[in-house]
Amino acid sequence: MDKRIPELTRVFKALGDETRLQMVGLLLHSGELCVCDFMGVLGTTQSKASRHLRYLFNAGLVSDRREAVWVHYRISEGLDSEAEGLVEYLRGVLSEERLAVLLGRLEEWRASKSTGVGCCG
């Protein structure tokens, strides 16, 4: 059996969830985001956001870095060609309207963080 099949299965399972697709879309357009950014934009709890991000992490789609108690995520560098192709495909097919809403929420969230309302800002 092809060794890539189990890896591709993990990638497809990770992308088979609306919340995780939104997270990937946000990362594709924003670079790096903190868990609290996903909480603010998607209206989810810290534990749910972290669980979804760990799923993407375990599939190799995102990497992380810690800053104090917060974890920041970004699209992984050096994805294999299949995963890179899928991520690039998502860049083109995610609804512009939906992304516009999410990016608008992100802008509002970042503004609230700069006034001290946010959690890691």
Interior/surface letters 74-91, b for 16+ CB within 10 angstroms, e for the rest = ebbeebeeebeebbeebe
For residue 77 the two structure tokens come to 């560098």
Per-residue pLDDT tens digits for 89-111: 988 888 888 889 999 999 999 99
Cβ–Cβ < 8 Å for 98, 27: no
Give the whole-angstrom CA distance, residue 100 versus residue 84: 23
Task: Give the dihedral of Cα atoms 44, 18, 104, 119; nearest 10 deg.
Answer: 30
> How far lies 56's CA from each of 23, 24, 62, 80, 116, in Å?
9, 9, 6, 15, 29
Residue 72 confidence (pLDDT):
96
What are the structural domains of the chain?
4-108 (1.10.10.10)
Q: What is the pTM of this model?
A: 0.89
DSSP assignments along 48-98, one per residue: HHHHHHHHHHHTTSEEEEEETTEEEEEEPTT--HHHHHHHHHHHHHS-HHH
Per-residue pLDDT tens digits for 51-94: 999 999 999 999 999 988 889 999 999 898 888 998 889 888 88
Check whether 118 has a pLDDT greater than 60: no
Q: 37 vs 118, which has greater pLDDT?
A: 37
Q: 114 vs 29, which has greater pLDDT?
A: 29
User: What's the half-sphere exposure (Cβ side, CA atoms, 13 Å) at 95?
Assistant: 7
Give the whole-angstrom CA distance, residue 120 versus residue 113: 7
